[in-house]
Amino acid sequence: MPHSIDQLTAKLLALPSADRIEIAEKLIVSVEGHANEDVAAAWRDEIANRVKDHEEAARVGSHPTRRSRKHIGD
């Protein structure tokens, strides 16, 4: 019969710290690839949004560089 998460956690926390560290490292490695993929996807979305915003601002004439230069009188 599978253990519940609470039962498994209690057993793991009863282990010596060196064993807990080893298990923690193995757990982190087991999910690290997924986290990296999620982070990479989030950055791709962020970059796409920033490019879209930049292009839209340039199209309507409110590009940040133009606004800055106009403000400083360049």
Tokens of 60: 């309507």
HSE-up of 62 (CA within 13 Å, CB side)?
A: 4
pLDDT at 4: 93
Quick one: average pLDDT of 38-65? Answer: 81
Confidence class for position 70, pLDDT limits 50, 70, 90: low
pLDDT at 69: 64
Q: What is the pTM of this model?
A: 0.44
